[in-house]
Structure formats: structure tokens, C-alpha cells
Structure 1
Amino acid sequence: MPHTQAGQPGVTPTFTGASEVGRVDCHAHIMTTRHALVADRHSEPKHDIHVEDFLALLALNGLSHGVLTQPSFYGTDNSLLLDALSRYPEQLRGTAIVSPDIAEAEMAALYASGIRGVRLNWFRRDTLPDAAGAEYQRLFTRARDAGLHVELYVEGEKLAWLLPTIRRSGANVVVDHFGAPEPRSGTQGAGFRALLDALAGGGTWVKLSAPYRLGGAPAADYARALLAAGGAQRLVWGSDWPWVSHEEGQRYAQCLSDLEAWVPDIADRTTILRDTPRALFGF
């Protein structure tokens, strides 16, 4: 039976073909404990989380579509993600982790399968790959040419250099989890200020997601600053379900309530939940 929260049985909805795009969850994960894990991981799955679990959760909370993000602990093995997209192509899109030497034809095949972003999960790394080097600049260019954005998860203080380095290729960038700002500097940190500048300049989007990953800093302050810099058309929302390593006390409905507190204007929330993801992920 599908589970709308880890370990809690839910109701299985009827999944149909094409449906009108309503509200979209732009950051969630599916996983299984049987899948091979990469060696340098900083988390791992505790339960099997199936795509039907996610779709049931969306239906129960009044959402119509979702974006599945490749977990870092599977590395470039996107097979579980691609299988889910193949079975529910109208309701789902995804972001994949790929090798920087991926061929153009493989990139085009990912797009055709429903992938809309190439994910760089560079969080908690002592040394980052050389984003300015030929290998990664070629990856960014190939992503751009295939219609894929670059999804970036990294400590906020590193954004001041990374954002312009990636954008130099012409690729669009989607930044995870409020930009993961440094809690002590908050909205005044150099990385977060660079993120605000990038939003204002275009070609960059931010996910309002995972407030529990902000080191106790108030998410509402970041949301207000991001909204002022780029407008609702540069923001999307994600639940980060099933909240890997932060499962305790999390509830999906509360994640949606958090967004209402961060963005009290209904028109802005509609743009963030529906209009921006529809354009960004091609629903």
C-alpha cells in the first residue's frame, strides 16, 4: 500500500493521462533501500518510497503535478527516476545527476524522457569540481542546448563565484533550498546577495524548500528578500519529501502552510505553485 508519510498508509488515487496543471511540488524524491549507493554519500534511504506514494500524497493535498529530484546517494544511476517518469509522463518531470562527459545524444534522450534539469549536489564537499574548467563548461553548454537547466545545491557562501561561472555558459540555473544561506550572515551574506542579484538579472530561479536545512534562521526573511529581488516568477516551491535525515516531525500539509506564511499574497503563491513551474519544467 502506498504511504503518504513514511510508515503511514494513505489512499491511492486514480491516475489518468493528461490533466490540467494545478499546483506543483517542485522538489521531492523517490528511493528504495535495494538500490546501489555511492561511496561518498552524506545520507541514505531508510524506507522504500515509491512514485505512487508521491502521487497519492499530491492528490491528498490538492496538488496535480510534481518534480522528482535525483537523490545524491544514487549518483548518476538515474534508473529509478527515469522509470517513474516513463510511467507517469503527464504528471511528472525530473532533474538528473549526470557525468560531466555526458554525450549530446544522451542529454537529448534525458529531455525526451521528462528530465528538465541537471543536478549538481555539491553540498558538504571539501573541494568542489572545477565549474570554470572545460569539462563542466561543456556540460553546462550541452544542458543549455538540450533545454535543461542546471540545478545547484551548495553552501550559500559559494554562490558568489559559482552562479556567474555557470551562467557564463548561457545555461539557466535553479538553486535549491533558499540558496542554503549561511545562518550567521543571513540575508546580508555575500552568497545570498549574489543570489538576489542573479534573480534580478534573469536566468536564475530559487526553490522555497526545506526550511529545516537553514540552521535555525527564519525562512520568511529569505523568502521576502527573494520575492523582492526576482518576483514570484523566479520562485518555485518544493516539499523536499520524504525529508531525508529530517523526517522527525515533518508533515506535508505543514510544508504547504509554511509557504502561506512566507508568501501571504494569494496571487504570488499561485504564480509560485502553478505558473512558474509550468513554464520552468514544461508541464
Structure 2
Amino acid sequence: MKAVKAPDYNPVKPSYTPPPKACDAHCHIFGPEATFPFSAKSTYKPADAPKEMLRKLHAHLGLDRAVLVQASCHGTDNRAMLDAIADSNDAYRGVAMVEKDVSDRELTALHEGGVRGIRFNFVKHLGGAPDFDTFHSTIDRIKDMGWHVVLHLDSADILTYQSLLDGMPVPFIIDHMGRAKVADGIEQAPFQSLLKLMRTNEKAWVKICGAERISAAGAPFRDAIPFAAALIESAPDRVLWGTDFPHPNISGDMPNDGELVNLFAEMCTDEAVRHRILVDNPERLYWKD
């Protein structure tokens, strides 16, 4: 298990002030390890990033709500996430990872604990696609719960999984702008397939986070702005934004979360659309009940 970089503990104060109820729709809780141990199957070991750290960061950034996404370092042990949600005064929701034999009682408990979605990884270097029998059976079980599915999926693989995406019975979210590489240009086939998906499939959502994962220029990752802007234009009612704090598995420049808030304001210059992405869209997907 390799150690990974810690986040930037000194975020700048953003010059852009998010609106009330603005949501960081993709962030993580890590540990503390002494209370919530990391999975023995994890390929990396992050520094602790407990709920108190996230709450302090969001207060500094001007973000009132958050969606906590279960990361692989905790595997299917969702306790750290659920603990943070329970302590959030309804400001947090969650996206879980579950075992293939998860029981109906366990799914109900996750729902009551604030979980509204489930995450599957398709990225090759992180293990590749899940078992599809498990994938489909789990999707069938969460359908009636009003949940959605988050897909960690490279845009280069969208065509490979086109029939799966076309037949998805629940809303699905593509993480991190489909991890399309800025260096390959905005006209690259993988990114264009993501744009087409967003324009043609009303169940498809996308997160315009992870600029540091696709940038060729490094911090502050402004070369990712045209990609995010194109995705916003394709389907503004189905776009979410998040910090990805505490930025696990970053090999290049570590983002400064205050600068990421300012970067969002450059990605989206229309204040009404900003409100839609930061407030209305996450409200509709996560706080509808």
C-alpha cells in the first residue's frame, strides 16, 4: 500500500463567493485511521482527512453542502462517510460502494443514513470494469430507491460501453469530465463522445471536477476550462461540480481548493448557470426527499 500526497492545507480564500446552499458534489472523508481503518485491499494509503477537516475547508470556501463519495481506500466500509453525514445537520449526502451480496436491510440502512447513489469503477489502471452480473443486479435493486449510479469511467471507453449506458434504468454520473486528456485537444474522439452522450441521453450527468487529473499545464489547471465549458453548454441541468478533496492519487501538482473555486467561476461565467450547477442540480439529485 503506497502512501500518497497530503492535500494543500493552506487553501486561498476564493475571490468568487458561491451562493447559499452551494454544494461540493464530489469530495471524500478519509479516516481518521485510528477510528475508521483503511481497507487492506486499498492500493494507496492517504493522510487522514476527517469530517472536521472537511467542515473547516467548506466554511473557508463558502460551501454549505457536500456529497461524500466513497473512495477505494475505505473499500465497502462506508462507516466514515455515514458518520460524517450523521454529524452534518442534513448538509451532507453520500455515494456508497457495496459488496456484491449486500442485503436489502443494508441498502435501507444506507438510504436512511443519507446515501443516494452507488459508485462503480471502470478505469483500467484501477482494476477495470466490475462484474456485470453484479453491476446489473445492484442497479435493479437501487432503482426503486430513487438512487443513481456514479461511474468512474474514461471517456475513451464510452463507445465500448455504449449499449450499457443507453440501457441504464437510473440516472448515471460520469466522474471527472470523463478523464479526457487536455493535451489531446477538445476535438479528440473520446471527449466528443462524452459531449454526444450528454446531449442525447437524458439520464447522463457529468462532474466538472478533477481538472488536475486532465490538465497538461499544471496548476491552476486553466487549460481544462474549455472542456468544462463545453460540458456545461451540452447539458447545464445535468452538471455537478466538486473539489475532489483531499485529492487522492495525484501525481502532478496538488490543487489548492480555494483556487479550484475560482477555477469553477472561470469555467462558468453566467451567474444563473452557476447557481444551477452549485445549488439546483445537486438539490434535485440528492435532497429531493
TM-score, reference length from structure 2 = 0.82
Gap regions ≥5 residues in structure 2: 1-6, 12-18, 218-222
1:64-213 to 2 correspondences below 5 Å: 64-123=64-123, 124-125=125-126, 127-131=128-132, 134-162=133-161, 164-200=163-199, 201-213=201-213
User: C-alpha distance in 2, partners of 1:186/1:62?
Assistant: 33
CA contact (8 A) 1:233 1:272 kept: yes
User: C-alpha distance in 2, partners of 1:211/1:102?
Assistant: 33
- The answer to whether the aligner puts 1:269 opposite 2:268 as a matched pair is no
Pick one of 248, 252, 269 that aligns with 2:257.
252
User: C-alpha distance in 2, partners of 1:106/1:137?
Assistant: 18
User: C-alpha distance in 1, partners of 2:67/2:180?
Assistant: 23
User: C-alpha distance in 2, partners of 1:181/1:206?
Assistant: 12
User: C-alpha distance in 2, partners of 1:215/1:8?
Assistant: 22
Shifted more, 191-200 versus 253-262: the winner is 191-200
- The answer to whether the aligner puts 1:242 opposite 2:246 as a matched pair is yes
CA contact (8 A) 1:141 1:169 kept: no
In structure 2, relative to structure 1, the CA distance for the partners of 1:50 and 1:191 (3 Å cut) is same
**Deviations 1:16-47 (CA, angstroms, capped at 9, x unpaired):** xxxx961111011111234443455343212x
* Corresponding residue of 1:282: 287
In structure 2, relative to structure 1, the CA distance for the partners of 1:138 and 1:57 (3 Å cut) is same
Give the deviation of 1:215 after TM superposition. 4.4
Gap regions ≥5 residues in structure 1: 10-19
**Deviations 1:154-183 (CA, angstroms, capped at 9, x unpaired):** 222112233541452412101111111144
User: C-alpha distance in 2, partners of 1:22/1:272?
Assistant: 11
* Corresponding residue of 2:21: 22
CA contact (8 A) 2:8 2:256 kept: no
Identity of aligned residues (%): 28
In structure 2, relative to structure 1, the CA distance for the partners of 1:45 and 1:259 (3 Å cut) is same
CA contact (8 A) 1:155 1:182 kept: no
In structure 2, relative to structure 1, the CA distance for the partners of 1:26 and 1:105 (3 Å cut) is same
Q: Which structure carries more relative contact order (alpha carbon 8 Å, separation 6+)?
A: 2
CA RMSD across the alignment:
2.6
Q: Secondary structure of the equivalent of 2:269?
A: coil
Paired residues, number: 266
The one-letter code sitting in structure 2 at the alignment partner of 1:243 is: H
TM-score, reference length from structure 1 = 0.84
